Amino acid sequence: MTWNEALLWLVLASSLITGLTIFFLPEERHRLRSTLNLAGAFAKLALIAIMLWGVLNEQQYETRYALLPGIDFALRADALAMLFVTLSAVLWLFTTIYAIGYLEGSPHRSRFFGFFSLCVTSTMGIAFAGNLFTFFLFYELLTLSTYPLVAHRGTDKALRAGNIYLGYTLAGGAVLLIGVIWLYSLLGNVEFAHGGVLSGLVPERHGELIVIFVLLIAGLGVKAALVPLHGWLPVAMVAPAPVSALLHAVAVVKAGAFGIVRVVYDVYGIEFAADLGLLLPLAIVASITIIYGSLRALAQDDLKRRLAFSTVSQVSYIALGVSLFGPIGTVGGLVHLVHQGIMKITLFFCAGNLAETLGIHKVSEMRGVGRRMPWTMAAFTVAAFGMIGVPPMAGFISKWYLGLGALNAQMPWVLGVLIASSVLNAAYFLPILYAAWFQPQRGPWPAEQPRGRFETDWRLLLPPLVTAALTLAVGLFAATLFSPLEWAQLIMTREYLR
């Protein structure tokens, strides 16, 4: 095994070994558990940094094993994989710090952090998958490793939410499996390849390929929360705040969106998908999801449910970008995969801080909270402005490129979707900010904790401050090397425009 092959396995092992070890730790060994978590997160970041430099310099990272005739287990790191892997690794570190503080003193922490690490391992496997079979394996492992996190509290409400989540995602996995098997029956081993692998099939098979595309997108659309497959996401908000952050920013919804990108670009090929007439229906579904999610967010008083419906809307920007049939729109979609993750994890961190420190769970309880928790609400404000698309925040960069991509693809109606979405984003975020900063407090907080040196535990405060700073930085420094925007452009120029 070469060093480049070993790096792929080491990235997976840095969280896999951490998780398996933590399962066997007694609950009282909290310091050792925290040390293992953080050591695994930092080791993963170091390994990924080496791979980023290698991919930038066009080194090859690939390994494969034949499992059955025509079916290989394949791992490969290309520029697209590294975009997703880097996002997951960076946010895993900050979510780990946050979760250590959030769960202090609570039961079943070894179980939580064990499955937490397995979830990250599954996400890395999805990113590194070199073919559709390997992708499916890790995609289903992600379902199984996140279910215990959704149901972690063990209450009736949590168990119900976990069952709904499992029902949706297993059904989506079954639909995806049908599409995978059907495609394998036509091609054999379905490798991810730049430009796709299906254009050589005879025209008589095109009708089958359209049906298979619908099956694949429907299976992936469950985790990507495309309407009407999104119902599990708001229900799953009963989970602890670190899990909500994980679902929305690091793993589950991003795995679905990432899979859609792979199917469109690396299985069908963007040109062949356009020839089959598949891109416009995908753009319409994504647009409906964007508007529907925003409208539903407006009606939510529960803060986490409002953020959940915001995710339903915002993640579909990624599917919209890849459906615009052009490099500019795809750059907007790909960069939003990173930008939405940074912004949304900030919002969920802040929502968790409000719940843990003051007992605030509803928007109607947030009057004057900016004076009690100014740093938390400052981070929330930056992320909310980013979601709206206020320059120079991260969200503005995404929406700018999506708008340019729509014009380049001669689909000006998409501009109306983006404008309407931004107006609706403002409609459900600005009242929160106004109440928090400018309205007086109404009575005591629902369950205020004693004030310490900081407004809350520093482990709860540091992660949202850092990710809020990143929300601003990736917008201000979008043109610098290794920025999400520059890396998305590298993906386009190196892998899809050759």
Task: Give the model confidence (pLDDT) of 165-174 as tens digits.
Answer: 999 999 999 9
pLDDT at 414 over 90: yes
Element containing residue 24 per DSSP (H, E) = none
Question: So what's the pLDDT on residue 495?
Answer: 66
Q: In the chain, pLDDT over 90 holds for what percent of residues? A: 67
pLDDT at 273 over 60: yes
Q: In the chain, pLDDT over 70 holds for what percent of residues? A: 99
SS3 424: helix
Banded pLDDT at 86 (limits 50, 70, 90):
very high
Element containing residue 74 per DSSP (H, E) = strand 71-77
pLDDT at 69 over 80: no
| Token duo for residue 439 | 């309205």
With a CB cutoff of 8 Å and minimum separation 6, the contacts of 367 are 435, 436, 439, 440, 441, 442
Residue 447: what are its φ and ψ, rounded to 5°?
Answer: -160, 70
Segment 141-163 shows an average pLDDT of 89
Banded pLDDT at 467 (limits 50, 70, 90):
very high
- Residue 64, strand partner residues: 74
Count of helices and strands (H, E) across the chain = 20, 2
Average pLDDT, the chain: 90
**Model pLDDT for residues 184-193, shown as the tens digit of each residue:** 988 878 889 8
Helices (H), 24-60: 30-56
Alpha carbons within 13 angstroms on the beta-carbon side of residue 18 total: 30
With a CB cutoff of 8 Å and minimum separation 6, the contacts of 6 are none
Question: So what's the pLDDT on residue 71?
Answer: 85
Banded pLDDT at 231 (limits 50, 70, 90):
confident
pLDDT at 448 over 90: no
Segment 187-201 shows an average pLDDT of 83
The better pLDDT of the pair 451, 145 is held by 145
Segment 347-355 shows an average pLDDT of 93
**Within a 10 A sphere around the Cβ of 156, how many other Cβ atoms?**
8
Segment 179-205 shows an average pLDDT of 84
Question: So what's the pLDDT on residue 207?
Answer: 87
Segment 2-21 shows an average pLDDT of 91
| Token duo for residue 392 | 């120079």
- Asked if 59 and 76 touch (Cβ cutoff 8 Å), the reply is no
Q: Is the full-model pTM beyond 0.75?
A: yes
Question: So what's the pLDDT on residue 496?
Answer: 66
Segment 122-142 shows an average pLDDT of 95
Question: Closest Cα to residue 43, out of 4, 2, 1, 7?
Answer: 7
Among 246-250, 294-298, 426-430, 493-497, the minimum mean pLDDT is found in 493-497
With a CB cutoff of 8 Å and minimum separation 6, the contacts of 251 are 88, 119, 120, 122, 123, 142, 146
